[in-house]
Chain A
Amino acid sequence: MSSRIESQPSEEQAILSIRDLSVTLQRRGTPTRVLDRVNLRARTGEIVALLGESGSGKSTLGLAILGLLAAESRPQVTGSILIGRQEIVGATTAALRPIRRRVGTVFQDPIGSLNPTMRIGRQLEEIIEDGKSPAWWLAQVGIPDPDTRLRSFPHQLSGGQCQRVMIAMAMARQPALIIADEPTTALDVVVQAQILALLRRLARENGVAMVFVTHDLAVAAALADRVAILHAGRLVEEGPAAQLVAHPAHPYSATLLAARFGLAADCGRQLPAAAPGEGGESTGCRWAPRCTLTQDRCRERVPAAARAAHGGWVACHRGDEMAVATAVTIGAPWPEQRPVVPGHLLELVGISKTFGLPHRAAFAERQVFHALDGVALRIARGEAVAIVGGSGSGKSTLLRIAAGLLAPDKGDIAYAGKDRPQIVFQDAAGSFTPWLTIGEQIGERLRAAGLARAQRSDCVARALERVGLEPRYATAKAANLSGGQCQRAALARAIVVPPNLLLCDEAVSAMDMSLAATILNLIGVLRRELGMALLFVTHDLAAARFLADRIVVMERGRIVETGPAEDIVRNPTHPATQFLLEAMPNRLAVAAE
């Protein structure tokens, strides 16, 4: 549909030209249409960002371009993918081989993508065709002291350096096209900005077309010339990066943008994230069930691509109206805080905990790691406290001690509640026993309270509804739920009998932005409705500020700063807090660089 719109390069100029590509994969025994009539082009020296949430089909598109769709998912591919003049769809493995040599790849896990048994230099040598030395390529990707580094094995390099090596390997084969699938997601913020700048420079200098798959709008805006937004297997909008991010023409894109929470988010309301829902098979627009602008025609017909104000195109029946700007305005208000009896709920005094490290040598003194060193913390009933700190600061250890899962070496714990605090873990799927149903596990606390079976299943259904899941999920197992659904179910388990204290251990850290926003909203709503105190452990100051009344900053097992959330963020006094603030993903700034 987009081929009629002229924002894309014409077919002659394009290195990559995808036309009406549909992919159907076998998922859990049923064929699922993962991509639906996708059109995309990329020309020499151009970077196209393919943006989508988890499950949108963006990685499938990357794999389809490489002809690497897993055979066991029995892919059915229709349409056309041209790289240069060569057709990928339906090509034999032998025919694909010369084409693949012209396509470089950079994946999310750089350390796993390199051969661990071979020195970096050897791995580069095997690929380089143009007579340049491996050391020259390492210098190109900004690795200091390249001659020494050639002799390193992958495990001796940092994640960022491994990704640089992967980029060197992708570039060294002189590709016409590079597919980069979330190459910076596993890296920390500072390194991420460097890698993005490097990719951009190399793509320009070498005249390579790049398809950059990501879930992060800011990264896409920082790097790409054009952005294509993928929702539920369909491209909904495409246009020049800067203009599209400034003026999205599709309500879905607008929602994605609004769901990015930063240090300026309004804490007095919920984040403006779209309500969760499942895009079922419908005859119309797949965003329609969750869109605030839905009309009858949205449900009936798939919208055609039309020219958008930002110079690209948009597939929305109402994309030409000013309405999109109002699709997302402000988040819903918080529910009223349930009154609580004043007083302290949890009091930790002088908590210390050390872990023994393995012996380094037979006669060496045994090393210990001071995870916590004299920590004192008080939480009032109904109060929300966030513990913020880098990895190894002891924040998770403190949470486990508060939960009673770990005994401190020294110190006192006084918990005024009669129940046990409940934890929501980072790995939501891993916090459910795979062979038991979700409902049975949510019901465990009711069983402990002595409820009969029928009453239990009633309560479980109500808890599931409360977190926005249909009661039928009670009979499902964790493997059948998505990451976001698992985290909702974990919240349902925690609140099926509302605890006095809810503990969250990096509960949204592994999620993409818009999903994280919906879970943060849910936690905020539940704690107010149920009058629970909240202890929220995170490394993300924006999430901490959004949820908590008070922020506690930890570094190397000690509390270094504490105060009202807003004060900590506005006027940090301790260097550790300042460092955390500087590392905040304010990545839109990268674009200006």
Chain B
Amino acid sequence: MILRVLLRTELRTKSGALPLIGLLFITLLAVAGPIFAPANPLLRVDTPYLDPSFQHWLGTDEVGRDLLSRILYGIRLTWFPVLAVIALTSAIGTLVGAVAAAAGGLVELLLNRFCELMMVIPATLIALAAVASLGPGTWHLVAAISVFWWPWYARIAHTEIRRVATRAHVEAARLAGVGRPRLFLRYLLPAALPSLVVAASLDVANVILVLAMFSFLGLGAPAPAPELGAMTAQSLVSLTTHGWIPLSPAIVIFILAFTANLAGDGIRQRMEST
């Protein structure tokens, strides 16, 4: 459904297509970025704290690593975990919310209370526990974040489906004898998609920040790895003296989040008008 909306309608309008092309570009960069990286992101290649120059476009960091190379690798290390978290949690959340809305009664009650329970337990504790048992690493972190991230999507899917279920057009479909799976896939679920897509697109920035937080705590990719959030956090001390070192990855994070928001907004508008 989403893919079809993207391909068929979105690309036809220029304004809607632009952020999507942006998303595509970011993903391409995440795949192919390292090819263009001029230096090894983990090795010292020059004097620390060099200003941007022709040789090092973004200068070097506090250890003397090429900053541009680190960012190009960093996009990959940040973007894919973010996408993974959002894809995983929105899928699980939608499934749980939809099951709750469809089942009703005791099942609905229990699932909703369980979601609330997951929401109120401090997320850091869950993630710490999860990573502690799995061991540090990016993909372990993805799993850990996903564990407490999905209930928000479950909530949205549940309310949206409940809201539309009593509308005249759904009642008409019921009277027409539409079977349960079809009623759910064609009549109920599409009603929740716009809200879910917007929530997911707004979540990109949040997930990047949470990833950064856990990387900072040493639970994500191990220390020298060029993860954008961790790079910003670690070099924050040089903000006043060599501002571009923390600011460059921060600006890239901003661009990622901003593009995702615009794309989400565009998709929502197209979905609501069709």
Contacts and interface: CB of A to CB of B under 8 A. Distances in A.
B91 to A, nearest CB: 21
A421 B173 contact: no
B171 A405 contact: yes
Interface residues of B, number: 19
Contact of A431 (B168, B178, B179): B168
B175 A433 contact: no
Interface class of chain A by DSSP: mixed
A432 interface: yes
Contacts of B178: 444, 447-448
Given A435-B190, A435-B274, A477-B274, A430 B167 contact: yes
Interface in A391-424: 403-405, 420-423
A509 to B, nearest CB: 14
Given A435-B190, A435-B274, A403 B168 contact: no
B177 interface: yes
Interface in B160-214: 167-179, 186-187, 190
Contact of A421 (B169, B170, B175, B271): B175
- Most central of A423, A441, A444 by chain B CB within 10 Å: A444
Contacts of B274: 434-435, 477
A425 interface: yes
Nearest to B173: A444
Interface string A425-442: 101001111111000010
Nearest to B169: A433
A477 B9 CA distance: 15
Contacts of A490: 172
Given A430-B167, A436-B186, A477-B274, A405 B173 contact: no
A403 B175 contact: yes
Contacts of A435: 190, 271, 274
Contact of A422 (B167, B169, B175, B186): B175
A433 B172 CA distance: 9
- Most central of A448, A477, A479 by chain B CB within 10 Å: A448
Contact of A433 (B173, B271, B273): B173
A493 B178 CA distance: 13
Contact of B176 (A404, A434, A444): A444
A423 B176 contact: no
Nearest to A405: B171
A423 B172 contact: yes
Contacts of B186: 433, 436
Contacts of A493: 172, 176
Nearest to B171: A405
A17 B268 CA distance: 45
B178 to A, nearest CB: 5
B177 to A, nearest CB: 4
Nearest to B272: A434
Contacts of A422: 175-176
A6 B72 CA distance: 80
Nearest to A443: B176
A593 B253 CA distance: 73
B168 A427 contact: yes
A445 interface: yes
A448 B177 contact: yes
Contacts of A477: 274
B171 A423 contact: yes
25 contacts: A403-B175, A404-B175, A405-B175, A422-B175, A423-B171, A423-B175, A425-B172, A431-B168, A431-B169, A432-B169, A432-B172, A433-B170, A433-B186, A434-B274, A435-B271, A436-B186, A444-B173, A444-B176, A444-B177, A445-B177, A447-B178, A448-B176, A448-B177, A493-B172, A493-B176
Given A423-B171, A433-B186, A441-B169, 7 more contacts: A425-B172, A431-B172, A432-B172, A433-B187, A441-B173, A445-B176, A477-B274
Interface of B: 167-179, 186-187, 190, 271, 273-274
